[in-house]
Amino acid sequence: MTGAWNHDEAGIFVETLFAKHHSEIYAYLVRMVRDADLAADLTQDAFVKAYRAYATLQKDENARAWLYQIAHRVALDEIRHRKIVRMVPWTGESRGAAPSAEHLAMELRLSGPLERALDRIPQRQRDALLLAEVHDLSGLELAAALGVSHVAARAILTRARESLRRALAAEQEAERLAESRRDAERAASLRGGR
């Protein structure tokens, strides 16, 4: 079926993509949304959307970046979805403003200065760092995944590195102060016990 969208071909193609890339896509989505169950759902969504969008992939060699782009959009959509707070009744009451249990669980999973620092930098920069350093996307792949130009992707990555450096420095300083406080409390406790 030259030039036409072929369901069988799309199915086989996505099956192949899944076999090769589902682990890294899932890992990326876990890091983006910090919720394993949600990330699994989003991974499923991403591959279904890849199946639907098969016709838009122009070169097979771009498939990995294309898949990351779809997964990235799926996750951003979910994140946006959570941000909107709406009020329907005429009473002035809000709905959906309280943090969800899922959100609290996500917060609890944060551990270590690196993850806390990553959480402090802008979403787009965090995504760029994860894609480039953890998922090893090249400059062109990163640009495709983020949906920006190559030059813009480089600029985002530069800002991301600087943001992370500052955020990590702040986290490390906070940890140092906390450790000093604990040492002081231990010392005070020991003195009190004598």
Residues 93-152 that bind other proteins (CB under 8 A): 94, 96-97, 114, 122-124, 129-130, 132-134, 139, 147
Q: What angle do CA 148, 49, 12 make, to 5 degrees?
A: 115
Q: Which of 18, 32, 141, 144 binds other proteins (CB under 8 A)?
A: 18
Site for other proteins, residues 36 to 65, rule: CB under 8 A = 36, 39-40, 43-44, 47-60
- Sequence letter at residue 12: I
- First and final CA of the chain: distance in angstroms? 87
Q: Rounded CA gap, 26 and 11, in Å? A: 19
Q: Rounded CA gap, 10 and 18, in Å? A: 12
Q: Which of 105, 169, 178, 187 binds other proteins (CB under 8 A)?
A: 169
Q: Rounded CA gap, 117 and 162, in Å? A: 12
The least CB distance from residue 79 to other proteins, in Å, is 9
Asked if 189 touches other proteins (CB under 8 A), the answer is no
Binding range to other proteins, per CB under 8 A, among 29-37, 98-106, 180-188: 29-37
Shorter beta-carbon distance to other proteins: residue 90 or 192: 90
Chain centroid, CA 161 distance in Å: 16
* Phi, psi of 87, deg, nearest 5: -135, 125
| Residues binding other proteins: number (CB under 8 A) | 84
Shorter beta-carbon distance to other proteins: residue 16 or 180: 16
Shorter beta-carbon distance to other proteins: residue 79 or 188: 79
Burial track 53-79 (b if 16+ CB lie within 10 A, e otherwise): ebeebeeeeebbbbbbbbbbebbbebe
Binding range to other proteins, per CB under 8 A, among 13-21, 100-108, 174-182, 184-192: 13-21
Shorter beta-carbon distance to other proteins: residue 12 or 178: 12
Q: Among 44, 63, 32, which Cα is nearest to 130's?
A: 32
Asked if 174 touches other proteins (CB under 8 A), the answer is no
Q: Which of 33, 143, 157, 171 binds other proteins (CB under 8 A)?
A: 157
Q: Which of 158, 176, 182, 185 binds other proteins (CB under 8 A)?
A: 158
Retrieve residue 182's tokens.
Answer: 């604990």
